[in-house]
Amino acid sequence: MNGAETLVHTLADSGIEICFGNPGTSEMHFVAALDREPRMRGVLCLFEAVAAGAADGYARMAAKPAATLLHLGPGFANAISFLHNARKAGQGIVNIVGDHARSHSRYAQAPLTSDIMAICGGVSDWLHQSRSPAEVAGDGARAVQAALRGRIATLVLPADCAWEAADAPAPPLPAILPGAVAPDRIEKIAAALKNGKRTLLLMRGRCLERAGMEAAGRIAHATGLRIAHDYFTPRITRGAGLPAIERIPYFSEQIVEALAGLEQIVLVGAPPPVTFFAYPDKPSWVTPEGCELLTLATPEEDSIQALTALAQALGAHAPGSLVPLVRPDIPANGALTSEAMGAIIARLMPQDVIWSDDSLTAGPGLQKFLVNAPAHDAIYLTGGAIGDAKPMAVGAALAAPGRKVIAVSGDGAAMYSLPSLWTMAREKLDVVTIICANRSYNILNIELGRVGAINPGPKTLSMLDLHNPELDFVKMAQGMGVEASRAETVEQFAAQFADAMQRKGPRLIEAVLQP
């Protein structure tokens, strides 16, 4: 076995089942080793950011890491933005980066020689460069162990460590599981929930899946507290049959309003809430003055166990009221707005959809109706690197075959990851991509005034505007082998979306939104 073969074998032994790759010359031995490992699937992505976003979406839905295969310095760099999103989401990924052979890295004049550890270091939680073929397998096992804890693990693999003879695969290392929350903390929080204060339970992480949501619903029913999640949450299972949950808004003044009057916030896997950006004369820290912050579970702890134990400690056994299913009427003859789209989607979407969403200004309109739609998992843009809805959808569809995936993206955002459409077509993924086409960086039109940049002139406005020429996502999608159509009216969107829900396979709808 060569080093690459011991590595691929070790990754598979450690439970890695898929590798999203955009290989180059220095990764050829890893690619060849995939041929001899039936337990690991290779998925070609035509741009590294697509591979990273797909690994993120896969991890969110499979609750285990994928591998990526990236080409030394600039190739890894192309993946950083969506690795950043994954890192903010706490999703583990094993990045294999094929570096120059050890003997070649000394040549600064070789085009691809770079400060690879610096480039990888800016976004990796775990970073190591293999020093010999014999060490590669063990390095791989350690990378998987880090990724299983939700870390971005990057193994820089010199080409000669891949092609030279090595010994054998390395045994998998034990997963380091989230720590259980001790009974005294459960008791302390249970006591605090009986003090009569106006309380919010702020949740993030695995507790937003069904078991945690149901425990939170029982606690809310027993104590009267509110439950909420932050705006850009990694994953939430929500909709009909689950407890109602608030979404903390995006803009700072809306957050302040939503949190006003609270006397205590109990954090469950969530950090204290802050705004997305700073604005002149507005606070970043939005916990109301005098409101106490209590921690039930840190992001490193088992938030589902903590909530379940808390419900138990409170004697909270009754589920309380659950979200009713509402199938809204399709708006008649109205303008195609995000609210109209939300109504149509909520009317027509099946059970168990995966909703992958990087939309910004279209978000609230869609959200309004989705909360009462059939139960589904929503995965959101967590790190502000826009354009990851489509790549995440690629990974989510591969993690959860049989489930319909809907990727929702703004038109500006969609331009960051166009090649993801090709992988959807090649892998015949059941992903419906919806482009919310408002023909602008609409969020920036809003933010311009909010940051105090007033009276924008023509140069400013042109930097936010996506007209001239208009983007035609139908043609772009067709150019990558994805069936596509444009909806300019409510009727067209309803017909196209209904059709997409009836069939399987990749599909794109460009929804031209009215302001």
Residues 21-60, interacting with a second copy (CB under 8 A): 21, 23-26, 28-29, 31-32, 34-36, 42, 44, 46-47, 49
Phi, psi (degrees; rounded to nearest 5) at 258? -65, -30
Whether the Cβ atoms of residue 197 and residue 264 lie closer than 8 Å to each other: yes
At 495 the three-state DSSP class reads: helix
Which residue among 260, 335, 463, 498 contacts a second copy (CB under 8 A)? 463
Q: How far is Cα 147 from Cα 321, in angstroms, rounded to an integer?
A: 38
- Residues 150-189 interacting with a second copy (rule: CB under 8 A): 159-160, 163
Among 333, 401, 459, 515, binds a second copy (CB under 8 A): 459
Burial zone of 76 (CB within 10 Å; 0-12 exposed, 13-18 middle, 19+ buried): buried
Strands 236-238 and 376-380: antiparallel
Which CB, 160 or 357, lies closer to a second copy? 160
Nearer to a second copy, 222 or 276 (CB): 276
Cβ neighbours around 502 below 10 Å, total: 9
Site string for a second copy, 371-400 (x = CB under 8 A): ----------xxxxx---------------
CB nearer to a second copy: give 161 or 432.
161
CB nearer a second copy, residue 145 or residue 275: 275
Output the smallest distance, CB 241 to a second copy, in A: 30
Q: Binding segment for a second copy among 107-115, 304-312, 335-343, 400-408 (CB under 8 A)?
A: 107-115
Q: Is the dihedral of CA 307, 313, 319, 320 positive or negative?
A: negative
Q: Left (φ > 0), alpha (ψ -120 to 50) or beta: where does 201 sit?
A: beta
Bridge partners, 20 (sequence order): 43, 68
Distance in Å, CB of 138 to a second copy, minimum: 23
**Residue 277 touching a second copy (CB under 8 A):** yes
Region 340-369 residues binding a second copy, contact defined as CB under 8 A: none
Is 439 among the residues that bind a second copy (CB under 8 A)? no
Closest to a second copy by CB, 241 or 276: 276
Options 179, 183, 261, 271; binder of a second copy; rule CB under 8 A: 271
Q: Which is nearer to a second copy, 40 or 316 (CB)?
A: 40
Using CB under 8 A, which of 289, 329, 468, 515 touches a second copy?
Answer: 468
The only residue of 179, 183, 479, 514 in contact with a second copy, by rule CB under 8 A? 479
Binding footprint of a second copy, residue count (CB under 8 A):
102
Closest CA to 419 of 103, 102, 53: 53
Contact 181/247 with Cβ under 8 angstroms? no
| Sheet strand arrangement including 152-158 | 41-44, 18-21, 67-71, 93-99, 152-158, 126-129
> Residues 424, 393: contact at Cβ < 8 Å?
yes
Single residue of 62, 63, 466, 501 touching a second copy by CB under 8 A: 466
Stretch 314-333 residues interacting with a second copy (CB under 8 A): none
Measured over the CA atoms of residue 449, residue 453, residue 454 and residue 455, the dihedral's sign is negative
CB 163, min distance to a second copy, A: 6
CB of 468 to a second copy, least distance (A): 6
**Residues numbered 400-419 forming contacts with a second copy, rule: CB under 8 A:** 412, 415-416, 418-419
Shortest distance in whole angstroms from residue 347 CB to a second copy: 30
**Which part of the chain contacts a second copy (CB under 8 A), choosing from 20-28, 128-136, 208-216, 335-343?**
20-28
Q: Which one of residues 73, 169, 212, 217 is an interface residue with a second copy (CB under 8 A)?
A: 73
Cβ 136 vs Cβ 3: under 8 Å = yes
Exactly one of 18, 370, 480, 500 binds a second copy (CB under 8 A); which one?
Answer: 480
| Closest distance to a second copy from the beta carbon of 270 (Å) | 8
- Cβ-contact 24, 72 below 8 angstroms: yes
| Torsion region of 449: left, alpha or beta (phi above 0 gives left; psi -120 to 50 gives alpha) | alpha
Rounded to a whole number of angstroms, the distance between the first and last alpha carbons of the chain is: 60
